[in-house]
């Protein structure tokens, strides 16, 4: 698979994730009370307090789900791999749209461990799009993970939304740059999962 095809698939996935996240967050927002008006009498005047939900997603979470590698490095043992993911997020600085993230993608034979930093863009109530990068450390080089079979730089694009106060759903695409041994090919994987917010 060429790099342009890989980028095209990544853009298509991002569009699908963003659209589904926006639809999901819109449904959640409509189910919640958007504006609550409270009249408080203070002497002879009324004070109106309006409570509206804030845009964006805050807080930290950890979750798990599926990971699907969709590329092949062209060598034996490089086939696309279905596995799982464990991902987490913390926002160390208040009012700064940057998050520290960690992801573990695992297959049958080994895992890829990724520290990541992302820029978070609030798009709706309790919903972010994020884009960032980091590095994938494959525990056993040469063994397949959903994101290739060797350690490599990683770029990620995704979305996250809070469906209740404690439950988060997320989905993203990860591109491992030259993430196969003996191959110039890059690896692409898609993740989705459910997390617990704390």
pTM as predicted: 0.74
Task: Give me the residue spans of the domains in the chain.
Answer: 3-197
- In a structure prediction context, what are the per-residue pLDDT tens digits for the chain, which is 198 residues long? 444 444 444 444 444 444 444 444 444 444 443 344 444 455 555 655 555 567 888 889 999 999 999 998 777 767 788 999 999 999 988 889 999 999 999 999 999 999 999 999 999 999 999 999 999 999 998 899 999 999 999 999 999 999 999 999 999 999 999 999 988 999 999 999 999 999
Q: What 3-state class would DSSP assign to 8?
A: helix
Strands, E assignment, the chain = 36-42, 45-51, 61-69, 82-90, 98-106, 111-124, 127-138, 152-162, 167-176, 187-197
Give me 146's structure tokens: 């959903």
Those residues whose C-beta lies under 8 Å from the C-beta of residue 88, and which sit 6 or more positions away, are: 60, 61, 62, 63, 101, 102, 103, 195
Q: Which CATH architecture has domain 3-197?
A: Beta Barrel (2.40)
């Amino acid at each position: 698979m060429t790099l342009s095809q890989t980028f095209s698939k990544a853009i298509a996935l991002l569009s699908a994730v963003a659209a589904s996240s926006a639809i999901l967050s819109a449904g959640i927002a409509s189910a919640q009370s958007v504006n609550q008006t409270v009249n408080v009498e203070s002497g002879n005047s009324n004070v109106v307090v309006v409570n509206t939900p804030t845009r964006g997603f805050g807080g930290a979470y950890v979750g798990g789900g599926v990971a699907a590698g969709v590329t092949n490095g062209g060598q034996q043992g490089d086939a696309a791999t279905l596995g799982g993911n464990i991902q987490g997020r913390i926002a160390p600085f208040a009012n700064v749209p940057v998050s520290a993230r960690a992801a573990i993608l695992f297959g049958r034979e080994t895992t890829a461990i990724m520290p990541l930093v992302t820029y978070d863009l609030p798009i709706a109530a309790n919903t972010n799009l994020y884009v960032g990068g980091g590095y994938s450390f494959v525990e056993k080089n040469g063994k397949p993970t959903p994101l290739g079979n060797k350690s490599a730089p990683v770029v990620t694009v995704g979305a996250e939304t809070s469906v209740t106060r404690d439950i988060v759903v997320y989905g993203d695409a990860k591109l491992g740059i030259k993430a196969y041994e003996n191959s110039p090919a890059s690896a692409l994987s898609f993740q989705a999962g459910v997390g617990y917010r704390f």
